[in-house]
Amino acid sequence: MMTDADLLAFHLALVATPSLSGEEGRAAELVVQTLAGYGVAAEIWDLHTVVARSGQGPRLLLNSHLDTVPPGAGWTREPWQPTVEGDQVFGLGSNDAKASVAALVGAFLEIHALGGPVEAVLLLTTQEETTSRGAEWAVPEVLAKFGVPDGGIVGEPTDHTIAVRQKGLMVLDLVAEGDAGHAAHAERLGMRNPIHTLAEDLLALQTLDRGPEDPWLGVSSYQPTVVQAGEARNAIPAEARAVVDVRSVPTMSHEEWLARIRSMVKSRVEVRSQRLEPYAVDENHAIVQAGLATNPQARVVGSATMSDLTWMRGFPAVKCGPGKTERSHQLDEFVLQSEIVAARAWYVRWAAAFAGQLAGGEKG
């Protein structure tokens, strides 16, 4: 098994290995080499995806991501030279999500050493911080090769909370068309000004019925974020556009959102992205209850931030890991070493309780 000291040394090595989105190869190799040192033959699939499997029992997917955002201007430390000050580890990705990667790898190795009580499938994906294409591709591949998991844990910094809901994201363009021409003649010629149409549509959408409220996340939100129209001060443009950001909750699908928006506007509605659907799992399911039963500090929440939880489709999963989401992407990002050690131990207890609940018929 991996000792606490080895676990923390592995975390430091991960932080010291740059792994910006799309450049995760060295981090993937580090994980595979580390696992090999404990007798685990892991594989690197396409997109620098790390996959390993061990143990017997109910199938439990352990997932997190290897990539980080780029370091922002203003760091007072070297982002890829982790520094330890007391219990704190400073470095890019130390909190999001290399703390989760380390804790999950440590838990996986303990399950491997014990031979159970679950069949643990370790899946470390990539590009989560940009396109989320890594998990979008890898999760179906894992399900096809190993079968559908009985449950899953997605490692992200959640500070002892278990996220059972996650908002989705849909990005739309409202495109209003008009009659291009000189502004001086617009009224006399009855020219259609697309800016007026777009403004009316944006105001109309303020009264949009956002559907039923989710008990954890509230109602879906709609916000225009970018508006573009015209270039010359004395010309009516042929087109006006607005980007609309929709943060959806599980009570209404993206298709329902689209239908409601289209029924209220005159502009053409173009879909930029609707792949990131909201996610929900029953809080009474064994994967949730096992987590609550093995950590007195744990509580159930809904998550407004995106993660690869959105791709855990067709099986119950939660988002939970060491660190705090507020530290993510911040200058001089840090995590507590005690959080990593505690998370590894919790994941192991969680897996055992999950197996026990399923054996007792408490699947949910």
- The pLDDT value recorded for residue 122 is 98
Whether residues 150 and 237 fall in one domain: no
pLDDT in tens, 170-209: 999 999 999 999 999 989 999 999 999 999 999 999 999 9
Are the CB atoms for 27 and 87 separated by under 8 Å?
no
**What are the backbone angles phi and psi of residue 334, rounded to the nearest 5°?**
-150, 165
pLDDT band at 237 (very low <50, low <70, confident <90, very high): very high
Region 213-238: mean pLDDT is: 94
Whether residues 129 and 242 fall in one domain: no
pLDDT in tens, 313-330: 999 999 999 999 999 999
Whether residues 125 and 198 fall in one domain: no
DSSP state letters, 296-359: TT-EEEEE-S--GGGG-TTS-EEE--SS-GGGTT-TT-EEEHHHHHHHHHHHHHHHHHHHHHHH
Beta pairing class for 221-229 and 151-154: unpaired
**Cα separations in angstroms, 49 against 46, 164, 332:** 6, 25, 27
Whether residues 57 and 156 fall in one domain: yes
DSSP state letters, 244-308: EEEEE-TTS-HHHHHHHHHHH-SSEEEEEEEEE--EE--TTSHHHHHHHHT-TT-EEEEE-S--G
- The pLDDT value recorded for residue 364 is 57
Q: Domain of residue 100: give its range.
A: 4-166+278-362
Q: Which domain-ending residue is among 272, 296, 321?
A: 272
Q: Looking at residue 214, what DSSP letter applies? A: B
Whether residues 296 and 179 fall in one domain: no
Is 182 in a helix, a strand, or coil? strand
Region 47-67: mean pLDDT is: 98
Amino acid at the residue 63? N
Are the CB atoms for 80 and 16 separated by under 8 Å?
yes
Strands (E), 66-156: 83-85, 88-90, 119-125, 151-154
Q: Which domain-ending residue is among 272, 289, 308?
A: 272
Amino acid at the residue 306? M
- The pLDDT value recorded for residue 360 is 83
Residue 228 has pLDDT above 90, yes or no: yes
What is the rounded radius of gyration, in angstroms, for the C-alpha atoms of the chain? 24
Q: Which two tokens stand for residue 252?
A: 């209404």
Are the CB atoms for 216 and 301 separated by under 8 Å?
yes
pLDDT in tens, 109-163: 999 999 999 999 999 999 999 999 999 999 999 999 999 999 999 999 999 899 9
Amino acid at the residue 181? G
Whether residues 92 and 237 fall in one domain: no
Beta pairing class for 161-166 and 334-336: unpaired
Q: Which two tokens stand for residue 111?
A: 């399950």
Q: CA 344, CA 102: separation in Å to the nearest integer?
A: 8
Whether residues 357 and 303 fall in one domain: yes
Whether residues 144 and 234 fall in one domain: no
The CATH number assigned to the domain holding 119 equals 3.40.630.10
Which pTM was predicted? 0.92
Q: Which residue bears the tokens 């330890």? A: 84
Region 330-343: mean pLDDT is: 97
Whether residues 148 and 296 fall in one domain: yes
Count of the separate structural domains present in the chain:
2
Whether residues 46 and 150 fall in one domain: yes
Q: Which domain-ending residue is among 237, 272, 307?
A: 272
Whether residues 210 and 85 fall in one domain: no
The CATH number assigned to the domain holding 230 equals 3.30.70.360
Whether residues 37 and 98 fall in one domain: yes
